[in-house]
Structure 1
Amino acid sequence: MKRVLITGAAGFLGSHLCERFLKEGMYVIGMDNLITGDMRNIEHLMPDPNFEFNHHDVTKYVHVPGELDYIMHFASPASPIDYLKIPIQTLKVGAMGTHNLLGLARAKKSRFIIASTSEVYGDPLVHPQTEDYWGHVNPIGPRGCYDEAKRYQEAITMAYHRYHGLETRIVRIFNTYGPRMRLNDGRVLPAFMGQALRGEDITVFGDGSQTRSFCYVDDLVEGIYRLLMSDYSLPVNIGNPKEITIGQFAEEIIKLTGTDQKVVYKPLPQDDPKQRQPDISKAKEILGWEPKVSREEGLRITYDYFRSLPKERLYEESNHRGFEGFSANK
């Protein structure tokens, strides 16, 4: 039986990856320090004899007994509210955590994949974004703790690949959504849906003309799986290229939820990307991958999930909402 270590296992994306690799017949070791993860995301996996969970911070020494075929480093704060509240931890998991796990991968002779992000492109001057674009990033701005952590992750991963001959993969993830997102984590989709469910006005930062491209989580997980199993070591964009303005997206959410909230506009945060759209030509060519789930279908599934939550969960993370000015419509 193949064995895989997945860091950030109790997070939104990590929990879906754990499910997928269990379905692939692998033994899954989930690891998370729960600084932003939630055990409720993986509690349904705990009875599975092929799943184990380690409560551990990967910025500290990581030891996993036995063989490891794959290491998937998906531990990192991913929402603006989180990485602006805990910038040092964000930088440490990108730098020290990645270094520790690369060392583990070298010792175990594991194939290693990191979760990079479209944020490596910063506020892009090239549209859509291709993997050979180097980006337009402010390293000392409020978003630099996240953007530069991811850029460093890519650099050290490629260094281990070139110097040590380690099998490595780099996935650049664009806006992803689906069940198990935190309603109040500052990202645009759960923020809009949370506001609709609470009967609040929909908050758009800027004039609403900035764009995003939303990929449903099942499509993303499929792309990640194919990349891990491929023999391609350079970065690959995984995301949905269907672009929409934030203003249009707010209207879609209002229509979906059947609410009558108005849209209110607030100033755009510093360094907020004006455009975000992946060029997925490489994923199509190398992986035979492209998204299958339409935004209409994915939003309906996600809204049904949020609507099914206990009412108190609509408010439980409201202590973070003081950072909503930095939500950046991510």
Structure 2
Amino acid sequence: MGAPSGEIIVTGGLGFIGSHLVDAYLAAGHRVTIIDSNAGAVIDGEDYDADPRCTVVRQRVEDYLAAGGDFTGADRVIHAASYVGPASILSRAGRLGHDIIGSTAPVIDACIGAGAPLCMFSSAEVYGRSGVLDEKDDILVPTQYNTRIEYAIAKTLAEAMVSNSRQHGLRGVVIRPFNVAGARQSRAGGFVMPTFVQQALAEKPITVFAGGEQVRAFIAASDLTGFIIDYMDAALDGDDIIINVGNPANAITVMELAHRVKDLLGSPSPVVSVDGRSVHGPHYAEAESFHKIPALRAATGLGWQPRIALDELILSTAEYYRAREDRRAVNAPL
């Protein structure tokens, strides 16, 4: 199932998902080039600098390509570079479309030029509605254009670009991840799992937004990377360009998650309801997909299954943050 060792390019490879992919590819015997502007980095990359199999290019991928860089010799390109997280994207309001398309278009062109297969990360935010969400379902675009909607529209357009670029020789697939979590994920982005875990470890109040009735299905980063490493070739040869990757067995309300984290970690932290805007500012908004559960028709059709259960995911995240600080959120209050 996994591809033979080769040359891998990971944009955003110092970020949460990107760094897990880099680690998995290195462990599988590949050489990896990371292209990362450091905008969303969760690690400094010094260990990668010291690894002769890994090259770190610290600039935006669009700048790298504009300056004459290319993807010649790449066996695959994983485009994971993006602003992510309901809090992190707020500072880019009005620019997110430019950010996302401005990096995706040159990546597509470079992949076509080099004959390199592309895996692009989109977002489950594109669905714009609640429910069990299938890749074949129509996408709903709400008309209140808050920053999350701008992000979702831009990701949708990037998906269409990948799909339509197949007419020009691109071999590409798009991954829609559902609530990836695990070690290294930063609460600075507004992500709920590392926020709850770090609050519980610090014995601070666990802050739940919007009543906590949101339903999320958390998938471990290792399960996501397992799909990319072992099933990307099959996905490229299959009929589905858009592929959900998630773990519906881990579906839980955010309020239930807060109490699960508290109980598993034996924390005295109280669970409290707060207005997200009081934490992240007046432009913060909840996702349109209040209940967000993936249908896994395409991914499981290739033979993949998620493995990591919710409690194991919570405990592994806590183990990571017991031993180290949250690099991106070190100066942010809990």
Corresponding residue to 1:150 among 152, 155, 166:
155
What residue number does 2:281 align with? none
Report the Cα distance in structure 2 between the residues aligned to 1:22 and 1:96, rounded to whole angstroms.
Answer: 28
Deviation at 1:56, TM superposition (A): 1.3
Once the two structures are superposed, what CA deviation does each residue of 1:228-270 show, in whole Å capped at 9, x if it has no partner?
Answer: 2211351111000121111110100111221122222134664
Deviation at 1:80, TM superposition (A): 1.1
Identity rate of aligned residues, in percent?
Answer: 27
Any stretches of 5+ residues in structure 2 without a counterpart? Answer: 277-283
Instruction: After superposing the two structures, state which structure 1 stretch, 207-216 or 17-26, moved more.
Output: 17-26
Deviation at 1:314, TM superposition (A): 9.3
Asked if 1:280 corresponds to 2:296, the answer is yes
Report the Cα distance in structure 1 between the residues aligned to 2:39 and 2:318, rounded to whole angstroms.
Answer: 25
Report the Cα distance in structure 2 between the residues aligned to 1:315 and 1:99, rounded to whole angstroms.
Answer: 31
Corresponding residue to 1:240 among 247, 264, 286:
247
What residue number does 2:279 align with? none
Asked if 1:201 corresponds to 2:208, the answer is no
Deviation at 1:96, TM superposition (A): 1.3
Report the Cα distance in structure 2 between the residues aligned to 1:133 and 1:258, rounded to whole angstroms.
Answer: 41
Corresponding residue to 1:130 among 131, 134, 158:
134
Report the Cα distance in structure 1 between the residues aligned to 2:194 and 2:64, rounded to whole angstroms.
Answer: 34
Aligned length: 314
8 A contact 1:237–1:283 mirrored in 2: yes
Report the Cα distance in structure 2 between the residues aligned to 1:158 and 1:192, rounded to whole angstroms.
Answer: 37
Aligned-residue CA RMSD in angstroms? 2.0
* AA in 1 matched with 2:48: L
* AA in 1 matched with 2:246: G
Asked if 1:82 corresponds to 2:101, the answer is no
Corresponding residue to 2:55 among 52, 55, 59:
52
Report the Cα distance in structure 2 between the residues aligned to 1:114 and 1:65, rounded to whole angstroms.
Answer: 15
Provide the secondary structure at the position in 1 that maps to 2:150.
helix
Report the Cα distance in structure 1 between the residues aligned to 2:140 and 2:34, rounded to whole angstroms.
Answer: 34
Report the Cα distance in structure 2 between the residues aligned to 1:92 and 1:27, rounded to whole angstroms.
Answer: 31
Asked if 1:303 corresponds to 2:318, the answer is yes
* AA in 2 matched with 1:247: M
Report the Cα distance in structure 2 between the residues aligned to 1:224 and 1:137, rounded to whole angstroms.
Answer: 28
Once the two structures are superposed, what CA deviation does each residue of 1:201-226 show, in whole Å capped at 9, x if it has no partner?
Answer: 11111122220000011111111223
Report the Cα distance in structure 1 between the residues aligned to 2:88 and 2:169, rounded to whole angstroms.
Answer: 34
Deviation at 1:138, TM superposition (A): 2.7
Going from structure 1 to structure 2, the CA distance change for 1:290 and 1:244 (only over 3 Å counts) comes to same
TM-score by length of 2: 0.88
Deviation at 1:291, TM superposition (A): 0.7
Report the Cα distance in structure 2 between the residues aligned to 1:282 and 1:112, rounded to whole angstroms.
Answer: 18
Provide the secondary structure at the position in 1 that maps to 2:293.
coil
Instruction: After superposing the two structures, state which structure 1 stretch, 177-186 or 208-217, moved more.
Output: 177-186
Asked if 1:290 corresponds to 2:324, the answer is no
Once the two structures are superposed, what CA deviation does each residue of 1:170-211 show, in whole Å capped at 9, x if it has no partner?
Answer: 111000111111133211111111222232211111122220
* AA in 2 matched with 1:191: T
8 A contact 1:205–1:265 mirrored in 2: yes
Asked if 1:119 corresponds to 2:125, the answer is yes
Report the Cα distance in structure 1 between the residues aligned to 2:107 and 2:182, rounded to whole angstroms.
Answer: 27
Provide the secondary structure at the position in 1 that maps to 2:89.
helix
Going from structure 1 to structure 2, the CA distance change for 1:136 and 1:267 (only over 3 Å counts) comes to farther
TM-score by length of 1: 0.89
Deviation at 1:313, TM superposition (A): 5.5
Equivalent positions of 1:11-26 (< 5 A) are 11-26=15-30
Deviation at 1:297, TM superposition (A): 1.3
* AA in 1 matched with 2:54: F
Going from structure 1 to structure 2, the CA distance change for 1:179 and 1:46 (only over 3 Å counts) comes to same
Equivalent positions of 1:171-186 (< 5 A) are 171-186=175-190
Report the Cα distance in structure 2 between the residues aligned to 1:262 and 1:46, rounded to whole angstroms.
Answer: 42
8 A contact 1:184–1:317 mirrored in 2: no
Asked if 1:223 corresponds to 2:238, the answer is no
Asked if 1:43 corresponds to 2:43, the answer is no
